[in-house]
Amino acid sequence: MSTDYGDADPFQWDTREDCQVRQILDRIADKWSLLVIALLDNRRLRFTELRREIDGVSQRMLTVTLRSLERDGLVKRTVHPVVPPRVEYELTPLGATLHATIQSLVTWTEAHQEEIAAARESYDHREAEAV
Amino acid sequence: MSTDYGDADPFQWDTREDCQVRQILDRIADKWSLLVIALLDNRRLRFTELRREIDGVSQRMLTVTLRSLERDGLVKRTVHPVVPPRVEYELTPLGATLHATIQSLVTWTEAHQEEIAAARESYDHREAEAV
DNA sequence: CGGCATCCGTGCCGATACTG
DNA sequence: CAGTATCGGCACGGATGCCG
């Protein structure tokens, strides 16, 4: 590595803004991407099915999200040449490996949501009486 | 359709917009939060140290991010009453359990960044010649 | 059905200035 | 050093309309 940023610290990783990992993290840690990947586990879903399952997503955002996931090779898009059109989405093998990680994030959140809610309440309470 | 949403499907989870899990996911899957949690692994860092390590973060965003992480009980903030002020941040036990998951996300991204880059290039290439 | 193009509001975030 | 406060731009994303 020519421009040696800090790979001195073994605990450290490249945190530069133009870093590949940072850019990819921003993409997949996106609000809708997370949900799509979580929902596509071992399933093939149509556009409308996904839209219905993800409460609050607009058509535009679902399209945009699916496009970038497809571009990143995480989701496979299959168009059936019928009328009316039928488009199905599923995880690629690469996407499937990511799913495990995403799922652990979801599981962690489910497991600790009460702790977080409690922490928030306690925090807000301290704030309130501090004022 | 009544209020009992689909817990019929074992693969499924609550995807309603007002769902706790969704809200928490949005918070912790935030661009800066991920980085902060990743960086605070087994370390106590001062505000300025964090700021220096995270390329591109503004003072404002780092403050805002740290506040919500503190509020969620993931990060502990310690103020040393000295001049100049010395404020240190570290993961709480709860934050430490989250770190493992975040780290696996980072590791996955590092491991697969070339595949993703290749997928993107291939996708863009197909797009280009399709036009 | 599954898009894409356009318009446009708003909320996020950077820049700047000020405080303990 | 480690913040808070305020302002303003702009990009994100919702709404709408049209198409294969």
Q: How many residues does chain A have?
A: 131
B113 touches chain A (CB under 8 A): yes
**Stretch A118-129: mean pLDDT:** 87
The pLDDT, as a whole number, for residue B18 is: 86
The pLDDT, as a whole number, for residue B13 is: 84
d(Cα B23, Cα B6) in Å, to the nearest integer?
19
d(Cα A50, Cα A55) in Å, to the nearest integer?
9
pLDDT cut 90: percent of chain B above it: 79
User: Please, which residues bridge with residue B66 across strands?
Assistant: none
pLDDT cut 70: percent of chain B above it: 89
- Burial code (b: 16+ CB inside 10 Å, e: under 16) for B39-64 equals bbbeeebebeebbebbeebeeeebee
Taking a contact as any Cβ pair under 8 Å apart, which residues of chain A between 22 and 61 contact chain B?
Answer: 22, 24-26, 28-31, 34-35, 38-39, 41-43, 53-56
All structural domains of chain B with their residue ranges? 18-130
The pLDDT, as a whole number, for residue A126 is: 82
The answer to whether A75 and A66 are in contact (CB under 8 A) is yes
User: pLDDT grade, residue B6 (50/70/90)?
Assistant: very low
Work out if A27's Cβ lies within 7 angstroms of strand C.
Answer: no
pLDDT tens column, A62-109: 999 999 999 999 999 999 999 899 999 999 999 999 999 999 999 999
Q: What is the mean pLDDT of chain B?
A: 89
The pLDDT, as a whole number, for residue B10 is: 52
The pLDDT, as a whole number, for residue A9 is: 53
A21 touches chain B (CB under 8 A): yes
Contact A43 B11 (CB under 8 A): yes
The answer to whether A78 and A87 are in contact (CB under 8 A) is yes
Q: Which helix (H) or strand (E) holds A86?
A: strand A86-91
The pLDDT, as a whole number, for residue A7 is: 44
The pLDDT, as a whole number, for residue B3 is: 44
The answer to whether B45 and B88 are in contact (CB under 8 A) is yes
The pLDDT, as a whole number, for residue A6 is: 42
Q: What is the mean pLDDT of chain A?
A: 89
Task: Report whether pLDDT(B52) > 60.
Answer: yes
- This prediction has a pTM of 0.89
The answer to whether B13 and A111 are in contact (CB under 8 A) is no
Whose tokens are 């850019």? That residue is A23
Contact A53 B15 (CB under 8 A): yes
d(Cα B130, Cα A94) in Å, to the nearest integer?
25
Answer with the residue of higher pLDDT: A1 or B23: B23
The pLDDT, as a whole number, for residue B11 is: 59
Work out if B60's Cβ lies within 7 angstroms of strand D.
Answer: yes
Q: Which helix (H) or strand (E) holds B95?
A: helix B93-130
How many helices and strands (H and E) does chain A possess?
A: 5, 3
**Stretch B39-64: mean pLDDT:** 96
Work out if B52's Cβ lies within 7 angstroms of strand D.
Answer: no
Task: Report whether pLDDT(A48) > 70.
Answer: yes
Task: Report whether pLDDT(A12) > 80.
Answer: no
B122: nearest CA partner in chain A:
A71
A106 touches chain B (CB under 8 A): yes
| Helices A31-39 and A20-28: angle between axes, nearest 10 degrees | 70
Q: Which of A84, A106, A110 is nearest to A39 (CA)?
A: A106
B123: nearest CA partner in chain A:
A71
What is the domain class of A18-130 according to CATH?
mainly alpha
Whose tokens are 């899957």? That residue is B29
